[in-house]
């Protein structure tokens, strides 16, 4: 008691270093030694044994060598030899064969053995003892008795490790840490990603810059009574860099960064998700200031009550309730900021999106033309390029591509160049990579007849001809009749990235899409299934224009689309209105089909030249079409954007030069003055005055 009291006093005082005694394992070694010693003595101290056949055994007994015979239930015998006959049997001295050397014999049956022993006893050849016993295998008994126990212990440990999720922040993997957070922690200084590594997304970076400023200088906001947003939700399509942007925020602020997926909170055990949420926020508060990033938060933040069959005690809803509580449970001075990413913000719970939890929604959109140039600049750095690569062309040719798609294009181009034994990656490799990703694998080995090839060439030439002659159609890049993926041919365009789309622009696109079917009917005399994809696109576009955009003469300014009733099975209009929509769609498509046929009739000669050139070359470019139909009189929107961006860059460069000149003027004035402000030279005074004027 006195010793315990002293130890407690020391621990409560200055907390001196206590030498905790290590566990003494001597008793374990002694126990193991005793077990082996017992096995040694029970096995006759390692005495020598010799196996003989039954005939030799009979000779030994007849000659009087046997002192004791032990018969086992497995039809084996152990014959112990008299000390004076050890040399005769083992050919060794008695001190070299142990205390009780024995001979083992395998017999046919116990009845035969009993008859033989009775005869030898009657003849006086055997006067020893006979013992009947069961065969004992101590190692075998120990093995078979312990094997089931060891198996079940190992199975239990394996199951506990699996349920524990492979370990966590708390130590060993067992069932007791199943409720610990699985978040991956990036300590301060280990995350080297900054805003420089995020190409494009200028608006999104500007939004999160305030979060970085708060983590660096929180007193700047707290002194004025302001509060930093507790959470920011990054919303955008897949591959736009939401996760990278969150890492850049942590790298710029140089604070710890917890990264976890929304699905990591979901578990088969009741209460585990809520427990992991509590453990995550507990760790975050210990590391504050820090950032918690929850990727794909829609896995746990889906709106409650959407699945009535699961009842009101759904485990996912319990996890969401705990997340809501934790997010609204700490103040802004705790320094814990939550970032989350999703591409399904429409299905998130309203309580999660309210002010005080996720105060801001930052939309990370697909990169536009200038941003794609920046993204290409990042991913082209590690590649060996030749002088044919045009970044402006690549950016224009990849509309709708995300950052991940552009990275895939660059990697695919490098693989294609390496496949063709090239020393550097060129323009053709990038164009082939884009075609590979968009259209699929090229199939030059597909066999086609001359009639099929001509039909495909006329179809694709119809697309190219009509689109070249329409003002609002997308600019043509190339036309090919080489099968790629599921398509037998394709016309490649540079889609215009419009912020607003007019009815005339959509009608021109529809007319160009129907140009292939119109060419088949005019120049072949029959139609085929090759226009199935074109008809599908045109039909969807027409229904969208009439039912959603209100671009109809009979149903103007009406929209039958509701974003809140996405999963509704009822139509928001009557059957009569549905018939009117169908009729309007049919009329619109027929008008554009007739328009495409008229254009092809007017330029049938140029269309036939283009189709013949396509049959000969299989791939033609916009330059070839321009030689036949002449240059298009319209400027594409992409060219306008590029020209505008170059103009802005020139203005910025000029303004920077002007600022530099203004900063250099005071320096020249100081050089022209002597001591006490007196001009050192009259010429210098004149120059200064002239400059000031």
Count of beta carbons in the 10 Å neighbourhood of residue 418: 12
Count of beta carbons in the 10 Å neighbourhood of residue 351: 17
Helix (H) or strand (E) holding 95: none
Residues making up the annotated binding site for Zn(2+) are: 459, 463, 534
What pLDDT score was predicted for residue 200?
79
For helices 604-617 and 515-523, angle between their N-to-C axes, nearest 10 degrees: 100
Contact 298, 348 (CB under 8 A): yes
Phi, psi angles (nearest 5°) of residue 478: -160, 165
Q: Which residues, 6+ apart, have CB-to-CB distance to 276 below 8 Å?
A: 179, 180, 181, 182, 264, 265, 267, 319
Residue closest to 102 by CA, chosen among 74, 75, 124, 71:
71
Task: Give the DSSP letter string of 545-604.
Answer: IIIIS---SSSTT-----STTTT--S-SS-HHHHHHHHHHHHHHHHHHHHHHHHHHHHTH
Given strand 619-621, what is the order of strands in its sheet?
A: 490-493, 476-480, 619-621
Count of beta carbons in the 10 Å neighbourhood of residue 449: 8
Both structure tokens of 320: 């969401």
What pLDDT score was predicted for residue 50?
78
Contact 618, 480 (CB under 8 A): yes
Pairing status of strand 184-186 against strand 257-261 = antiparallel
Contact 66, 131 (CB under 8 A): no
- Beta bridge partners of residue 70, listed in sequence order: 78, 131
- Per DSSP, the three-state class of 16 is coil
Could you read off the pLDDT of 667-692 as tens digits, one per residue?
Answer: 444 444 443 333 333 333 333 333 33
Count of beta carbons in the 10 Å neighbourhood of residue 109: 9
C-alpha 429, offset from chain centre: 27
d(CA 589, CA 597): 12
Both structure tokens of 338: 């939550």
- Beta bridge partners of residue 103, listed in sequence order: 50, 79
What pLDDT score was predicted for residue 431?
87
* Residues shown for the chain: 693
183: buried, middle or exposed (CB in 10 Å: 19+, 13-18, 0-12)? buried
What pLDDT score was predicted for residue 612?
92
d(CA 70, CA 648): 108
Phi, psi angles (nearest 5°) of residue 77: -125, 145
Residues making up the annotated binding site for ATP are: 236-243
Pairing status of strand 336-342 against strand 290-295 = parallel
For helices 575-602 and 532-543, angle between their N-to-C axes, nearest 10 degrees: 130
d(CA 94, CA 84): 9
What pLDDT score was predicted for residue 180?
65
Both structure tokens of 685: 């005074």
Query: Between the CA of residue 540 and those of 324, 438, 506, 651, 671, what are the distances in Å?
Result: 41, 21, 12, 44, 74
What pLDDT score was predicted for residue 259?
86
d(CA 73, CA 446): 78
The DSSP output letter for 663 is: H
Task: Give the DSSP letter string of 354-406.
Answer: STTTS-EEEE-PPP-HHHHHHHHHHHTTTS-B-TT--HHHHHHT-TT--HHHH
Q: Which residues, 6+ apart, have CB-to-CB distance to 463 below 8 Å?
A: 479, 491, 512, 513, 515, 516
What pLDDT score was predicted for residue 464?
93
C-alpha 685, offset from chain centre: 69
Contact 531, 521 (CB under 8 A): no
pTM over 0.85: no
Preceding amide of 324 cis, omega within 30? no
> Which member of 207, 267, 371, 460 is catalytic?
460
Active site annotation includes 460: yes
d(CA 83, CA 405): 91
User: Which residue ranges of the chain lie beneath pLDDT 70?
Assistant: 1-28, 36-48, 94-95, 98-99, 136-141, 160-183, 186, 188-191, 268-269, 306-313, 329-334, 563-569, 636-647, 649-650, 652, 654, 656-693
């Amino acid at each position: 008691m006195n010793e315990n009291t002293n130890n407690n006093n020391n621990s409560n005082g200055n907390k001196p270093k206590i030498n905790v005694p290590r566990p003494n394992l001597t008793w374990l070694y002694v126990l193991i030694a005793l077990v082996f010693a017992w096995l040694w003595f029970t096995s006759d101290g390692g005495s020598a044994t010799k196996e003989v056949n039954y005939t030799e055994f009979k000779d030994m007994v007849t000659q009087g060598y046997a002192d004791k015979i032990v018969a086992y239930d497995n039809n084996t015998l152990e014959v112990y030899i008299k000390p004076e006959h050890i040399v005769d049997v083992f050919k060794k001295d008695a001190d070299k064969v142990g205390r009780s050397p024995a001979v083992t014999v395998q017999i046919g049956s116990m009845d035969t053995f009993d008859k033989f022993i009775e005869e030898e006893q009657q003849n006086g050849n055997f006067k020893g003892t006979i013992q009947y016993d069961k065969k004992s295998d101590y190692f075998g008994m120990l093995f078979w008795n312990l094997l089931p126990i060891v198996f079940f212990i190992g199975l239990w440990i394996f199951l506990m490790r699996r349920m524990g999720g492979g370990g966590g922040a708390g130590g060993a993997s067992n069932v007791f840490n199943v409720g610990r957070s699985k978040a991956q922690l990036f300590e301060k200084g280990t995350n080297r990603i900054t805003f420089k590594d995020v190409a494009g997304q200028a608006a999104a970076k500007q939004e999160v810059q305030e979060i970085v400023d708060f983590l660096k200088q929180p007193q700047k906001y707290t002194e004025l009574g302001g509060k930093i947003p507790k959470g920011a939700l990054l919303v955008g399509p897949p591959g736009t860099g939401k996760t990278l942007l969150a890492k850049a925020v942590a790298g710029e602020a140089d604070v710890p960064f917890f990264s976890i997926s929304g699905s990591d909170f979901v578990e088969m055990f009741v209460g585990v998700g809520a427990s992991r949420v509590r453990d995550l926020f507990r760790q975050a508060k210990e590391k504050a200031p820090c950032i918690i990033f929850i990727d794909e938060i829609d896995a746990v933040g889906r709106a409650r009550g959407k699945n009535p069959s699961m009842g009101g005690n759904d485990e996912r809803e319990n996890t969401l309730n705990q997340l809501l509580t934790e997010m609204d449970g700490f103040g802004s001075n705790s320094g814990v900021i939550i970032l989350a990413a999703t591409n399904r913000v429409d299905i998130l719970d309203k309580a999660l999106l309210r002010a005080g939890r996720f105060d801001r929604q930052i939309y990370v959109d697909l990169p536009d033309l200038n941003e794609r140039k920046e993204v290409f600049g990042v991913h082209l750095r590690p590649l060996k390029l030749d002088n044919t690569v045009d970044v402006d062309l690549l950016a224009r040719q990849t509309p709708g591509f995300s950052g991940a798609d552009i990275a895939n294009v660059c990697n695919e181009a490098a693989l294609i160049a390496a496949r063709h034994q090239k020393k550097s990656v060129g323009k053709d490799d990038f164009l082939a990579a884009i075609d590979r990703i968009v259209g699929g694998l090229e199939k030059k080995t597909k066999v086609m007849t001359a009639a099929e090839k001509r039909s495909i060439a006329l179809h694709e030439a119809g697309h190219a001809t009509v689109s070249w002659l329409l003002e609002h159609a997308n600019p043509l890049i190339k036309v090919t009749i080489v099968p790629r993926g599921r398509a037998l041919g394709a016309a490649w365009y540079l889609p215009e990235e419009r912020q607003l789309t007019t009815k005339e622009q959509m009608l021109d696109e529809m007319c160009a899409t129907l140009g292939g079917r119109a060419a088949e009917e005019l120049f072949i005399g029959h139609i085929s299934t090759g226009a199935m994809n074109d008809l599908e696109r045109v039909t969807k576009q027409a229904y969208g224009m009439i039912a959603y955009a209100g671009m109809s003469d009979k149903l103007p300014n009406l929209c039958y689309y509701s974003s809140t009733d996405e999963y509704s099975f009822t139509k928001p209009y009557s059957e009569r209105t549905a018939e009117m929509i169908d009729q309007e769609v049919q009329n619109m498509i027929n008008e554009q089909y007739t328009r495409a046929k008229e254009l092809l009739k007017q330029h049938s000669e140029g269309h036939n030249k283009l189709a013949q050139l396509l049959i000969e070359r299989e791939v033609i470019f916009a330059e070839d079409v321009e030689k036949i139909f002449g240059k298009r009189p319209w400027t594409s929107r992409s060219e306008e954007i590029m020209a505008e961006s170059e103009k802005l860059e020139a203005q910025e460069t000029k303004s920077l030069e002007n600022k530099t000149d203004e900063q250099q003027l005071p320096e020249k004035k100081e050089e022209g003055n002597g001591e006490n402000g007196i001009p050192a030279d009259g010429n210098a005074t004149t120059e200064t005055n002239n400059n000031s004027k």
